[in-house]
Amino acid sequence: MQSEIEYKTIDSINEELLREAAILHIDGLSYRSFITLFGVKFITEIYKDALRNNIAFFVFALDNNKVFGYVMGCTDTRQLFKSVFKKFPKYIAIMLPKIIMSPRLIIKLFETLFYVDKENTTVNSELVVIVTNANYRSKGIGAGLVNNLDKEFLKRGINQYKVTVHDEMVRSNKFYINLGMKLSTSFKMYGVKFNLYVNSIGS
């Protein structure tokens, strides 16, 4: 199965690929990512705005042109959230039905928008999200995505980036450690502990 995978990088809007990525995001990460509650359109719009502002890129793992995994890299996370603030009326319109049903989501939303202030790091670039189809896990796809992510960051003159992960996600923490990432700090968000790893590349 690994030999059939093609890795493709995009840094401009591809509606079909981004929608597939958003669907995979929800399917694969809804158990730990509250923004999945807002649906495919919400996530797709975030991805599109990040690309429009030239602060992000995606690496897709494709099998016969179908998305089975992807990783999103961001050159500056603060700029990513600024891009969301600039289009806040658009996003609040999408989120409103869920917020009306559960007003406490507003607290989580603002924690998410300002979590970079808790990280205590000077590293701005970030692996924002990585997910693979459940049937393609433990086959080296995740490592392949990160390897291609590293190459793309280096092309942009970036030799360090960060990634945050829930402390209780033992498998994910081990994945980043096995790839050579170093634990930099830990912080609390949503009342739980998150770890921040830094990956130094190109040396």
Q: What domains does the chain contain, in order, with CATH numbers?
A: 2-156 (3.40.630)
* Residue 50 CB neighbours (<10 A): 25
> Cα(3)–Cα(73) distance, rounded to whole angstroms?
24
pLDDT at residue number 2: 46
Does the pTM exceed 0.75? yes
Section 44-50 average pLDDT: 96
CA distances from 82 to 103, 114, 116, 143, 151 (A): 23, 10, 12, 30, 26
Nearest to 127 by CA among 182, 200, 187, 74: 74
- When the pLDDT of each residue in the chain is averaged and rounded to a whole number, the result is 91
pLDDT at residue number 190: 83
How wide is the angle at C-alpha 28 spanned by C-alphas 24 and 31, nearest 5°? 135
Q: Both tokens of residue 24?
A: 């995979």
Q: Read off φ and ψ for residue 202, nearest 5 degrees.
A: 80, 10
DSSP 191: T
pLDDT tens digits for 21-43?
999 999 988 777 788 999 999 99
H-assigned helices in 64-158: 77-86, 88-101, 105-113, 141-155
Q: Find how far residue 163's CA is from the centre of its chain.
A: 9
Amino acid at site 111: E
Q: Both tokens of residue 190?
A: 């949503």
User: Is residue 18 very low, low, confident or very high in pLDDT (cuts 50, 70, 90)?
Assistant: very high
What is the DSSP annotation of 50-83?
Answer: HHHTT-EEEEEEEETTEEEEEEEEES-HHHHHHH
> Cα(45)–Cα(47) distance, rounded to whole angstroms?
5
Section 178-196 average pLDDT: 92
DSSP 179: T
> Cα(60)–Cα(199) distance, rounded to whole angstroms?
20
From 5-19, 102-116, 144-158, the region with the lowest mean pLDDT = 102-116
Nearest to 45 by CA among 91, 11, 9: 91
